[in-house]
Amino acid sequence: MGRIVGIDLGTTNSVIGVLEAGRPLVISNSEGSRTTPSVIGYSKESELLVGQQARRQLVLNPKNTFSNLKRFVGRTWEELDENSLNVAYTVRANEEECVRVTCPVTEREYAPEELIGSIIRKLIDDAEKHLEESIESAVVTVPAYFNDSQRQATRDAALLAGIRVERILNEPTAAALAYGFDKKSASKVLVFDLGGGTFDISLLSISNGVFDVKATSGDTQLGGNDFDKKIVDWLADEFLKEHNIDLRRDRQSLQRLSEAAEKAKQELSGLSKTPISLPFISTGSNGPLHIETVLDRRKFEYLCKDLIDRLLIPVETALNDSGWTADDINDVVLVGGSTRMPMVHQLIRTIVPIEPSQSVNPDEVVAVGAAVQAGILSGELRDLLLNDVTPLSLGLETVGGLMKVLIPRNTPIPVRQADVFSTSEANQSSVEINVWQGERQLANDNKSLGKFRLSGIPPAPRGVPQVQVAFDIDANGLLQVSATDRTTGRKQSVSINGGSNLNENEVNKLIKEAQEKADFDRRKRASIDQKNNALTLIAQAERRLRDVALEFGPYGAERQQRAVEVALRDVQEFLEINDLAELDLAVSALQEALFGLNRRISAEKRVDNNPIQGIKNTFGSLKDELFSDDYWDDDPWDYNPNEGKRERDYGRKELDRWDNDYYN
C-alpha cells in the first residue's frame, strides 16, 4: 500500500499530516503555515482561491468567498438552523431541498462538498510538493457526532478532490491516538473537542497500544463560531440602538463584525478586556459612522452562558453511557482552538477535578492522530489497535411510526446486527424498509437515511412472513442495510447514501469535468506563477540598479548596468502584451544580466581593497575601452532601444568570456 496522509478537515482551519520514520509530522502549506484556512473564494476574474488567499478577500468580496462550509455538509435545508445561515454569502435550497451555495462571479451554484473538495485538493498538492511523491489515499477526520449522511458527504468531497478515503475517523478518537501514541501506561482519557463549528466529547481507555472508545456525544451545530456570533450580535444590537442601522443586513459590515469578534474572542483568552475598533463601518445622515468600544471578559462570559450550558449536556451524556464517573478520568485532552477560552477551562475543571493536558497542540492534534491511523492502515505501525463506536442509534420504522433500534449508540464498530420482522396486512406482497438514525422514540423525529422496498413476498396472513433485516456498519461508521425473505430467500440490500448533497451521477459529472479541465487549470496556474516570478524579478532588478547607482555612480559598471536595463525593459514589454513564450526568454536574459552586474560589483569591491592593483586595472580598463571596437560600437549616441529584442530574435552577440571587460 502506498503513502497515506491524515487530514483534519476543520470548520475554520484544516491541517494535513503524515507518518515519517515512524513519527507523525504536520506538513506546512505553500504559504509556510501549518494550518490552512477552510475558506474558498473566487476572484473578480473567476480565479479559484483557497486558504489564506481566499481569506484575504472575505471583507472586500463576501458574496464570492465561502467559509464555515462544514456545517452544510450532508444536511438538508430543513435541518439547518438560523445560526448556520448567518453568513455573508448566499445559501439556498435546490429542487431536492439540498443545500446549495451561490457564487455570482461564476454564475454557478455549488454543493458544499464540491467547495470542500477544493480545500482537500490544496492540502494534497502541498503535501505532494513536500513529500515529492503523488498521494492517492487519506484518512479524513469528522466530528464524532456526524451522522451517516454527513460521513457519506465527506467521502464525496474527498472523491471530488481525487482522493480515496481509506478511513473516516472521529476527531476526538484521532486526538486520543496522537496523545497516547507513545505512552505505555494505561489511562482513561476524556477528549474535549470544541472546534470552529462542532463540539464532540469522547471517553477512551488506552492500554498497551489499544485505544478503546467507550462513549461519544456532541453537538454538530455548536462551536467557536457561535461564541463569535454572540459578540457580533452584541455589537450590532448596540449600533442599532444608537444609529437605527442593523449592520447584519450589509454583507461587508457583517464580515467585518465577524472578524473583529473572532479577534476579540482570541485576545480575551489572555486579557481581561480588549478594545474593538471598526472605523467607517457604515454611513448615517451626518456622515461616516464608527464602532469604538471595549469588551471585557466578564461581559463576554455573560453573553455566552447559554452556550456553556449546551457544552455541559453532551459531557454528562457520555459519562452516563460509559458508566464512568468524573473521578475515573486520568487525563483530559483539549482539541480545537476554542478550548483556549478561560470559561471553557473553568467548565472542564468543574466536571473533572484535574488539570487538562498541555502536551498536545489543540490546532494540530487531530491531524497528527489521523497520520497515526494512516500509519496503522499502511502497516508502518503494528503495535496500535483502535476500537471505535457508532455515535447515534440506528433502526427502522415499524407500525405506528415508531423507531425500532437495531444498533444502539456507542456500540463498538465494525458491527452487524439483525432482527426479524413481519407484515402488517394479510397477503402483503412487499415491505418498505425505512432506515432512521437518532435517539427519539418516533421515527419522524429522527434523521431518515434512506428507504428501499423488498418485493416478491408470497401471499400469507398478517404476521406469518418472516423478513430478516440486517444492519452492517463498517470501520468508517458507514451503514449498509439488507432485507431477506426467509421463505423465498429473496434479498434486497442498499448502501445508505440518500443524505448526501450529491447523488452518484452528480459526483461522476463533477469528477469528469475536473479531469477535462485539469490541463487548462494547470496551464493557467503556471502562467500566473510565471507572471508573478517576473514581477518579483523586475522589483529585484530595479532595486539592484538603484543600489549600484548610489554606491558606484552611473558609470561604475556602465556596460553591465545597461545590459540589465535593456533586459528589464524587455521583461516589462512582454508582460504588458502577455507573450509568455518571449517572457520566459526575457526573464532568463534578465537573470543573466543581473548575474553579470553582481560579478562586476564584486570585482569593484575587491579592487577598492587593493589601491595599487586598482590603479593598474583602471589604466588597463581605460586602454581596453579606448582602443577596442566594442567601445565605439557602444557609443550612447548610437543606442537603439530595440537592440535587445533584435539580438534575441537573430541571435545574441556572444561575449568573449576571457575578455577582461567581461569580468571587470
pLDDT tens track for 487-533: 888 887 766 544 445 555 555 555 555 555 556 666 766 777 788 78
**Is pLDDT at 636 greater than 70 in this prediction?**
no
Indicate if the alpha-carbon torsion angle 178, 180, 183, 184 is positive or negative: negative
What pLDDT score does 650 carry?
A: 39
Mean pLDDT (the chain) is 82
Average pLDDT over residues 466-487: 82
Computed on alpha carbons and rounded to an integer, the radius of gyration of the chain in Å comes to 32
Confidence of residue 626 (pLDDT cuts 50, 70, 90): very low
Active-site entry in 148, 193, 262, 364: 193
Catalytic entry in 70, 229, 265, 447: 70
For the segment 140-166, what is each residue's pLDDT rounded down to a tens digit?
Answer: 999 988 888 888 889 989 998 889 999
Residue 620 reports pLDDT greater than 50: no
Q: Is 171 a catalytic residue?
A: yes
Q: How far, CA to CA in Å, does 312 sit from each of 173, 207, 318, 348? A: 20, 27, 10, 9
Known catalytic residue at 8: yes
Per the CB < 8 A criterion, the answer to whether 17 and 27 are in contact is yes
* Residue 402 DSSP class: B
Residue type, 43: S
pLDDT > 80? residue 452: no
Neighbours of 172 (CB within 10 A): 33
Contacts of 434 (CB under 8 A, 6+ apart): 396, 397, 443, 448, 451
Report whether pLDDT(357) > 50.
yes
Q: Which of 148, 166, 171, 472 is catalytic?
A: 171
Residue 579 among the catalytic residues = no
Residue 283 and residue 302 in contact, taking contact as beta carbons nearer than 8 Å: no
In this predicted structure, which of 90-94, 269-273, 372-376, 423-427 has the lowest mean pLDDT? Answer: 423-427
Query: Which of 8, 126, 364, 570 is the catalytic position?
Result: 8
More confident residue, 111 or 477: 111
More confident residue, 629 or 562: 562
Q: Which domains does the chain have, with CATH numbers?
A: 4-222+307-387 (3.30.420.40), 224-306 (3.90.640.10), 394-506 (2.60.34.10), 518-663 (no CATH)
Q: What is the mean pLDDT of residues 391-395?
A: 85
Q: Which candidate, 6, 622, 650, places its Cα nearest to that of 364?
A: 6
Question: For residue 225, what are the contacts with CB-CB under 8 A and spacing of at least 6?
Answer: 11, 12, 68, 83, 196, 197
For residue 146, what pLDDT is reported?
Answer: 87
What is the C-alpha to C-alpha distance for residues 305 and 637, in angstroms, rounded to an integer?
Answer: 81
What confidence category does residue 396 fall into, taking pLDDT thresholds of 50, 70 and 90? confident
pLDDT at res. 522 = 64
